[in-house]
Amino acid sequence: MAKITLSNLAHSYMKNPKNKEDYVLQPLNHEWDDGAAYALLGPSGCGKSTLLNIISGILTPSEGSILFDDKDVTFADTTNRNIAQVFQFPVVYDTMTVRENLEFPLKNRGANNQYIDQRVGSIARAIQVEDILDKKARGLSADAKQKISLGRGMVREDVNAILFDEPLTVIDPHMKWELRTQLKALHKELKHTMIFVTHDQTEALTFADKVVVMNGGHVLQIGTPEELFEKPAHTFVGYFIGSPGMNVFEAKVTGNIANLQGYEVNLNSTYKSLQGKIELGIRPEFIELCEDGEGIKIEISRIEDVAHHKIVRAKYNNRKVNIIVPEDVKITPTMNSIKFKLEGVNVYVNDWLVEGELL
């Protein structure tokens, strides 16, 4: 297991990058804790796989360096970095049995038979392949083969890190939940440094201690699922995480008062003169539907009934607004206004969160 440090790291696939736009990874400086589980989350093309491949050694960064426990490994290959990897599609030996596939990484490192039996047994239990241990991998479903790839990735205890690149893509939806839970349990037990690439927020939020949210080659925030929910550092984070994501309203902020086209909202904090594009970010969970005249008037377009609440889709000032209403609240035709719960109102300047002074 290792602490991973990214120092002034940046990457361009061009030979002679000239400007910022030529880079798919913008300069990064981060230290990732030894033994923590991270998820790299972001939309397609934001640079997740590029970053993962730089950490694994498949790719050499155009700029900066990468350190494992303070040792510079920027130019070391994957084997010398001593990491395990699980890819999007299964990597298994078809002619070997499931057991032989799981034993392979341990035998390669010269582990003794007793340890191999014990370790393969516990991994087989975790990924639920005990009943097919003596079957050849050939002929197994893609789903089963991917479970074996996951098992092979996790069977060695002495790796510096385990890297997962969208490993649950081919897994059946029901099994996905099961495997995510198992991965989390294995992480708790073994405390490997794990990095898991995904574009699925549920996957990221259930698996990771910390989620690294990326967009357009930038790391916008590294935080616990709670931090990303309560204090999104950037409007994109607020919008990308949550279902539906955070609402954003243009506003003017003076002291502890926000003005939304004539409607005043008292804030929990006070802000010194803010310059630039000023917006309030409010998650749908922190907006209340209220009677006409009690708040900001909206136009309701649709009401959706989901598991334990309703989602009200509406418009305010030609912008979409989503509101989450508890299932026991009856929505009447006169409820056409909204109010904000103060603890859920964040202030953004040019898309970045600004903290005021608490009142």
Q: Which residues bind ligand ATP (CB under 6 A)?
A: 13, 24, 42, 44-50, 199
Cα distance between residue 86 and residue 31, in whole Å: 22
The CA radius of gyration of the chain, in Å to the nearest whole number, is 24
Residue partners of 319: CB distance under 8 A and separation at least 6? 248, 249
The residue among 141, 144, 102, 136 whose CA lies nearest residue 122 is 102
Positive or negative torsion for Cα 58, 60, 62, 65:
positive
Residue 51 Cβ, how far from ligand ATP at the closest point, in Å?
7
Residue 40 Cβ, how far from ligand ATP at the closest point, in Å?
8
Cα distance between residue 168 and residue 146, in whole Å: 8
Residue 13 Cβ, how far from ligand ATP at the closest point, in Å?
3
- Closer to ligand ATP by Cβ: residue 47 or 281: 47
Residue 208 Cβ, how far from ligand ATP at the closest point, in Å?
16
* DSSP three-state, residue 42: coil
- Closer to ligand ATP by Cβ: residue 221 or 337: 221
How many C-beta atoms surround the C-beta of residue 206 within 10 A? 16
- Closer to ligand ATP by Cβ: residue 24 or 338: 24
- Closer to ligand ATP by Cβ: residue 24 or 163: 24
- Closer to ligand ATP by Cβ: residue 42 or 153: 42
Supply φ then ψ for residue 140, to 5 degrees.
Answer: -75, 155
Residue 59 Cβ, how far from ligand ATP at the closest point, in Å?
8
